[in-house]
Chains A and B, each alone.
Chain A
Amino acid sequence: MTEDGTVGGTSRPDKWKTEDGNQRLEVGSRMTDPISHFPVPLSGFMEGQSKNKLTSMLRMMIVIRRIEETLNDLFARGKLFGTTHLCVGQEAVAVGACYPLRKDDLVASTHRGHSHALAKGVSLRKLMAELLGKDEGLCRGRGGTQHLSDISVGFLGTNGITGGLIPVATGAALAFKMKKQDNVVVSFFGDGASNTGVFHESINFASIKKLPVIYICENNLYAMSIHVKRSTSVENIAQRASAYSIPGVIVDGMDPLAVEKAMVDAVNRARKGEGPTLIEAKTYRYLGHSKSDRRVYRTREEEKYWMDRDAIQNLSSALIENNVAADEEIEAIFRDAENEVKSAVDWAVSLPDPSVDDVASGLFQENNEYV
């Protein structure tokens, strides 16, 4: 580490990355095999980063993983109802993508959205209370995992209709542009969602209107059981950008710094009024699609391949190897994150069920101007 607390140059250049780190696609260009091109993290990007930034990214990734693992455990023990989509393995995308955002920038999420919410600054305790259907939750227990929101921190919401918020995110960006504000909107979605009509219509719209929106695809190779190769006409989702004359960028979604770097470029572009960017983060979900998935459509070897590239693992050891943080400091970050999750869960579990008395309230906004 250097005097000012930033990290010195690291080794391990990744052969698939271009000089500025991420692969930028020319129109019609193809990566022959995205998996074998996959880099060994981490990370071409540590140079010049502050310790505080690196450790806070690590901490957030750990919080996200622990909450997801806790939810998985609660389901397994029959203590949680409904269903949920966990993002274990994909933490680096949310954390890297949200890091460059301001509080008043907006994030629109997916069905697999706990990570996006937390990384954008949603309260862990309120999130947990919502997932347990409590009145103290983000949405008073009415929304649940796929329908939760906290607009006060710029989190528009998770969403149960695949692709459903891509147009809404686009419309939010239209508002920012009309109001001449320099805020940006980030629209998360999966590889599967890139086959919906709204994805294509929205990006086309944002491109012709030059809207301040960043479309970020978490390509985890599967939409439920369907491998991306069976559902998608392009090798890389980022290639779809070329159809709409916007930049398409492929990043290593197991590396929060790679994601962050691509985001910084895209956010700058958006704030300057130059229009949208499509970022594709290659990543992997370690667990099943939802609670009842036995993962018959993929191999344990493939899972291991990706787990060996684990973002939390890699960032932790890179911090130690590069003398950014000592072993004990990393351990303390883990402990601290775990305690935070445990205390949030314990608190949420202890809350009573919500009262049904005003279940009917709140459908319409009542204070209209003409009243």
Chain B
Amino acid sequence: MNKVDLSMKDAINLALTEEMERDGNVFIMGEDIGVYGGAFGVTAGLLDKFGEDGIVETPISEGSLMGIATGSALMGMRPVLEIMFMDFTTLIIDQVLNHAVKFRYMFGGRDDIRVPLVIRTPYGGGRAYGASHSQSLEGLFLHIPGLKILVPSTPADARGLLKSAIRDNNPVLFLESKLLYNKTGQVPKDDNLIPIGKAKVVIEGEDITLLSYGRTLDMCREAADYLENEGYKPEVIDLRSLNPLDKKAITKSVEKTGRVVVVEEGTLTGGVGAELCSVIMENAFFSLESPPERVAAMDLPVPYSPVLEAEVLPGVGDIVEASLRSLSY
């Protein structure tokens, strides 16, 4: 066997280890990433391996940490900044948006201006953490030109994409679903780098396209099971990268099926699904047999009580309903 079974958490830990061993400029920065191993245990054991130069524990100062990472990246380091919850990335947005992603272009597009850095952060709800620890804010970041955004849905993709992200010479936002951390899957033993910007067809079909990424991709698989039992042949596509977006793969699938449901965990209005629908309209309009369907969280803060949270966040049932609506249009 040239594969091993790993949880997504361990696959990320492995990618970090491999990249730090490969390139001495790679270091990790964040809160409680040392003896504590990170709030979700992703960096467990790394302090012992790489010491305090490799694992830089910080005060609670997100607003500056992003700028500090950027400055170090400009001077040739390759920081991987861990932000404990995606909800706290709002505190780094100024340094991302007004500085890190602009430097290269704004300073003339020169090759000696590089900002190779990765922001890793866990996103999403489903754990009753309440309004400030449950959000999926990729829609906000999608609006930022110059920021790559990756969201793995399997341990293998997590490892392969993170390794590519660390080697990329640009700022990359790397989103990890809290609910997938303990999900296990087969991970290749070799170096498998996964190219950034390539979607993956995870279930081939011809009747309807389900487009998603991260945790909601798993929901799409479940919805697909249901639809198959109903006699349909759904196609499920894992986007893996939101920026750059694999428009070719999206167009190809929608041209084939003529129907599409886009699924995300963030709030509906102005979200990732809105962008996906625009791309579909621009590229596959005349193939559509029904209006594209969007499944997303309600436009609300995520409530605490598990029953309320489940109501506000998208679920498998919502995807099935949207699919059936589209299929019977």
Min CB–CB distance B88 → chain A (angstroms): 7
| Residues from chain B with Cβ under 8 Å of A370 in the complex | none
Quick one: which of B168-200 are within 8 Å of A by CB?
none
A195 touches B304 (CB 8 A): no
Q: Is B63 an interface residue (CB 8 A)?
A: yes
A81–B61 CA distance with the chains assembled, in angstroms: 29
The residue among B31, B307, B308, B311 with the most chain A CB atoms within 10 A of its own CB is B308
| Residues from chain A with Cβ under 8 Å of B312 in the complex | 359
Binds B, one of A143-151, A272-280, A328-336: A143-151
A230–B61 CA distance with the chains assembled, in angstroms: 14
A230–B35 CA distance with the chains assembled, in angstroms: 13
A297 touches B311 (CB 8 A): no
A224 touches B32 (CB 8 A): yes
Q: Is A354 an interface residue (CB 8 A)?
A: yes
A356 touches B130 (CB 8 A): no
A161 touches B61 (CB 8 A): no
Q: Is B128 an interface residue (CB 8 A)?
A: yes
Q: Is A208 an interface residue (CB 8 A)?
A: no
Q: Which of A145, A146, A226, A297 contacts B59 (CB 8 A)?
A: A226
Q: A160-B87, A161-B88, A226-B57 are in contact. Are A134 and B305 (CB under 8 A)?
A: yes
Number of interface residues of B (CB under 8 A): 36
For A363, the closest partner residue in chain B by CB is B300
A196–B64 CA distance with the chains assembled, in angstroms: 9
Q: Is A283 an interface residue (CB 8 A)?
A: no
B60 touches A146 (CB 8 A): no
For B312, the closest partner residue in chain A by CB is A359
Quick one: which of B273-329 are within 8 Å of A by CB?
298-301, 303-308, 311-312
| Residues from chain B with Cβ under 8 Å of A193 in the complex | 60
A296 touches B133 (CB 8 A): no
Q: Which of B59, B132, B300, B306 contacts A161 (CB 8 A)?
A: B132
Interface string of B60-94 (1 = CB under 8 A from A): 11111000000000000000000000011001000
Quick one: which of B96-126 are within 8 Å of A by CB?
none
Q: Which of B64, B128, B299, B311 contacts A81 (CB 8 A)?
A: B128
A32–B300 CA distance with the chains assembled, in angstroms: 50
Q: A141-B305, A163-B60, A196-B60 are in contact. Are A146 and B32 (CB under 8 A)?
A: no
Quick one: which of A248-298 are within 8 Å of B by CB?
293, 296-297
Interface string of B124-139 (1 = CB under 8 A from A): 0001111111000000
A211–B300 CA distance with the chains assembled, in angstroms: 34
A196 touches B61 (CB 8 A): yes
| Residues from chain A with Cβ under 8 Å of B62 in the complex | 196
Q: Is B34 an interface residue (CB 8 A)?
A: yes
Q: Which of A147, A296, A354 contacts B36 (CB 8 A)?
A: A296
Quick one: which of A230-259 are within 8 Å of B by CB?
230-232
For B91, the closest partner residue in chain A by CB is A161
For A195, the closest partner residue in chain B by CB is B59
| Residues from chain B with Cβ under 8 Å of A28 in the complex | none
Q: Which of A224, A232, A356 contacts B307 (CB 8 A)?
A: A356
A265–B69 CA distance with the chains assembled, in angstroms: 42
A197–B312 CA distance with the chains assembled, in angstroms: 33
Min CB–CB distance A84 → chain B (angstroms): 10
B132 touches A359 (CB 8 A): no
A54–B251 CA distance with the chains assembled, in angstroms: 73
Q: A160-B131, A224-B36 are in contact. Are A354 and B307 (CB under 8 A)?
A: yes
B305 touches A231 (CB 8 A): no
A363–B268 CA distance with the chains assembled, in angstroms: 15
A250–B131 CA distance with the chains assembled, in angstroms: 34
Q: Which of A142, A164, A363 contacts B299 (CB 8 A)?
A: A363
A356 touches B60 (CB 8 A): no
Q: Which of B39, B59, B131 contacts A143 (CB 8 A)?
A: B131
A163–B59 CA distance with the chains assembled, in angstroms: 12
For A295, the closest partner residue in chain B by CB is B36
Quick one: which of A111-140 are within 8 Å of B by CB?
133-134
| Residues from chain A with Cβ under 8 Å of B91 in the complex | 161
Quick one: which of A183-208 are within 8 Å of B by CB?
192-193, 195-197
Q: A192-B60, A356-B311 are in contact. Are A142 and B133 (CB under 8 A)?
A: no
A223–B35 CA distance with the chains assembled, in angstroms: 13
A225 touches B303 (CB 8 A): no
The residue among B36, B306, B311 with the most chain A CB atoms within 10 A of its own CB is B36
A145–B129 CA distance with the chains assembled, in angstroms: 9
| Residues from chain B with Cβ under 8 Å of A353 in the complex | 305, 307
Q: Which of A141, A146, A231, A293 contacts B133 (CB 8 A)?
A: A146
Q: Enumerate 14 A-B pairs (CB-CB under 8 Å) in ascending A order.
A: A81-B127, A82-B304, A133-B304, A144-B128, A147-B130, A160-B132, A195-B61, A196-B61, A196-B62, A197-B61, A232-B59, A296-B35, A354-B308, A356-B308
Instruction: List the 3 shortest-distance A-B pairs measured between CB atoms, nearest first.
Output: A144-B304, A133-B305, A160-B132
List 9 additional contacts besides A83-B127, A195-B61, A231-B60; criterion CB under 8 Å. A133-B307, A141-B308, A142-B304, A160-B130, A161-B87, A195-B59, A293-B36, A359-B308, A360-B300
Listed in ascending order, the chain B residues whose CB lies under 8 Å from chain A are 31-32, 34-36, 39, 57-64, 87-88, 91, 127-133, 298-301, 303-308, 311-312
